[in-house]
Amino acid sequence: MRRSAAFFGAIRWQAWVAVAGVVTVGGFLLAAPRPGGSSAPDIAPVADAAPITSTTSVALSTTVAPTVASTTSLAATTSSASSTTSSSTSTSSSTTSTSTTTSTTSTTVAPSTTPPSGLLLLDVLAFATITNEHRGGYDRDLFDHWISQGGGCTTRDVVLARDSSTPVQRDLFGCDVVAGDWFSVYDGAELTDPSDVDIDHVVALKEAWDSGAWAWGYEQRRAFANDLSDARTLRAVDDGANQSKGDRDPSNWLPPRQQHWCTYLGDWVAIKVRWGLSMDQSEYGRIRNVVRERCPTWRIEPVDPLPAFPPPAPAVSIQPIAPLPVAPPTGTAAPVYFENCDAARAAGAAPVRRGDPGYRKGLDRDGDGVGCE
């Protein structure tokens, strides 16, 4: 089932109202009432007892795409000013003076541990298609990756520069990154040498292939492998952590740094739903269980829908070609066969002697080497 972009635009507006609907009256924070007088969330959480079936399939790959918003702090500060008046009266030459001082008191609300708006991760997870993976046919070369992005820079160069906490140093004669400062969210490693940094496809290329990319055309596979429109698709991480991950999904691998689990799973779900990639049963179950246990209120923000991609080229059917008849070598006589002696006599070949064309033991009954005597 496909949902329209207007539908997700309405959800985004409602999520904004859920945060922005706060007014201050007399120094107090009041939540603005929702339409209909209800203060319940706009999106109901997934029920714990909801069954998992292989027919759950609502793809958003061409309408709207959720992306994971990193944890942000929501702090509200209210200030109330109270005036304290102290009067001091001094009598000097029949003169009285009064002085007034003002003090300010501020109250700070503690930061929240989840993004303040967006869609519940568990709700977005419900849009995933649950089915068995497609096995076979994968080749990394089918995904044209690290392509040119202009100015002599490749996709890898762009991500290295984007994810460095300081401006990167580049080769004097090109765009190659030669130094920077990277924090690997997978394992907490701090890196300065780009040779120690891998650009990880959060959803690995083989995992994407097994989950639906096998049916994509060249342009869509190329766009996925070099996606710079969503910063969560590609990550600059420690090469050792990336190699330990390989092409495994969350049922078999999660980052060693557990503080990143909820963000990682949010990224994973957002990418899969955005690109219309399926999940298998164990993958879906592990994600659901970890999110319910660790961060059931985690939210992710919608992102722009994917562009339209040309359909894959039709498969070319190759018909087998019948072998051409082989002519006998030049100068070689065609084999001679006489069904019986009458045929040999009619051909003027009788008697047929051993070594003559057409001689065979069936024509030489007495075995003296001469047939059809």
* One-letter-per-residue 3-state SS of the chain: CCCCHHHHHHHHHHHHHHHHCEEEECCEEEECCCHHHCCCCCCCCCCCCCCCCCCCCCCCCCCCEEECCCCCCCCCEEEEEEEEEECCCCCECCECCCEEEEEEEEEECCCCCCCCCCEEHHHHHCCCCECCCCCCCCCHHHCCCCCEEECCEEHHHHHHHHHCCCCCEECCCCCCEEECCEECCCCCCEECCHHHEEEEECCCHHHHHHCCHHHCCHHHHHHHHCCCCCCCCEEEEEHHHHHHHCCCCCCCCCCCCHHHHHHHHHHHHHHHHHCCCCECHHHHHHHHHHHHHHCCCCEEEEECCCCCCCCCCCCCCCCCCCCCCCCCCCCCCCCCCCCCHHHHHHCCCCCEECCCCCCCHHHCCCCCCEECC
Print burial letters for 50-79: b (CB count within 10 Å at least 16), e (below 16): eeeeeebeebbbbbbbbbbbebeeeeeeee
Question: pLDDT at residue 230 above 60?
Answer: yes
pLDDT tens, residue by residue, 78-137: 333 333 333 333 333 333 333 333 333 333 333 334 444 688 999 999 999 999 999 999
Contacts of residue 147, defined as CB under 8 A and 6 or more positions apart, other chains included, come to 154, 155, 222, 226
pTM over 0.85: no
Find out whether 288 and 266 touch, Cβ atoms under 8 Å. Answer: no
Question: What integer pLDDT is reported at residue 325 of this predicted model?
Answer: 66
Question: pLDDT at residue 43 above 80?
Answer: no
| 155's tokens | 């996709």
Question: pLDDT at residue 50 above 60?
Answer: no
Find out whether 214 and 163 touch, Cβ atoms under 8 Å. Answer: no
Domain ranges of the chain: 5-73+112-303, 341-371
Report phi then psi at 210, rounded to 5.
Answer: -65, -20
Q: Count the Cβ atoms, other than its own, within 10 Å of residue 355.
A: 7
Per-residue confidence at 318, pLDDT binned at 50, 70, 90? low
Distance CA 125, CA 299 (A): 11
Average pLDDT, the chain: 73
Find out whether 175 and 157 touch, Cβ atoms under 8 Å. Answer: yes
Question: What integer pLDDT is reported at residue 315 of this predicted model?
Answer: 63
Q: Which of 47-51, 259-263, 368-372 has the lowest mean pLDDT?
A: 47-51
Q: Count the Cβ atoms, other than its own, within 10 Å of residue 227.
A: 19
Per-residue confidence at 263, pLDDT binned at 50, 70, 90? very high
Question: pLDDT at residue 75 above 90?
Answer: no
Find out whether 117 and 15 touch, Cβ atoms under 8 Å. Answer: yes
Find out whether 325 and 232 touch, Cβ atoms under 8 Å. Answer: no
Question: What integer pLDDT is reported at residue 2 of this predicted model?
Answer: 41
Per-residue confidence at 339, pLDDT binned at 50, 70, 90? confident
Question: pLDDT at residue 46 above 60?
Answer: no
Find out whether 32 and 18 touch, Cβ atoms under 8 Å. Answer: no
